[in-house]
Amino acid sequence: MAVVPEPNTEPAHERSDAARNRALLLDAARSLVAKNGAGAVTMDDVAAAARVGKGTLFRRFGSRAGLMMVLLDEDERASQQAFLFGPPPLGPDAPPMDRLLAFGRERLRFVHAHHELLSAANRDPRTRYGPPVAVLRTHVRVLLASAQTSGDLDAQTDALLALLDADYVEHQLNDGGQTLETLGDAWESLARKLAGR
């Protein structure tokens, strides 16, 4: 397994090895998280599942927390891609209200699937209000504006996003007798009441 040198001096076969290892490690980590939950996944598990040395795993991601954040970041990007550029009803070919409602239900599924990582990120205010959340805020605010929504759009955006917070969603699922379906209905009720005049 090649140790990755400075990017500019790296021969082509080492770069492709590195890219392949990175993809193998992320795929392995993603499968293990899906199967066992993020809290139960160790660096040994990931290295073994990817058949890549543990040294390579640490060199690439720095730490277990680093690996988990890269995983979350990649999934956030794929999700953003879907609601910013993907097919309707999430993407731009649907009317704003349809997109908003589809976004709420999609995000509920996303935060539930990633709740352990998002919950950890929530504990740090820099990530809690960091770049991924800024993209969500902009998206919801733009859709509210496109739907000719009256009143304070920032407050309405933050209120809508609060119901999609990972800790809130898990609390509602575990202790509030809710399901992703009923939470989606509740979100739709709020969004319909806010959007428009």
Name the residues that contact a copy of itself, by CB under 8 A. Answer: 123, 125, 128-129, 150-152, 154-156, 158-160, 162-163, 165, 167-168, 171, 175, 185-187, 189-190, 192-194
Q: Least Å distance between CB 146 and a copy of itself? A: 17
Q: Least Å distance between CB 104 and a copy of itself? A: 11
Q: Is the Cβ of residue 75 or residue 116 nearer to a copy of itself in the bound state? A: 116
Q: Is the Cβ of residue 57 or residue 194 nearer to a copy of itself in the bound state? A: 194
Cα 97 to Cα 5: distance, rounded to the nearest angstrom: 49
Q: Is the Cβ of residue 50 or residue 184 nearer to a copy of itself in the bound state? A: 184
Q: Least Å distance between CB 11 and a copy of itself? A: 44
Q: Least Å distance between CB 170 and a copy of itself? A: 8
Tokens of 35: 């199967």
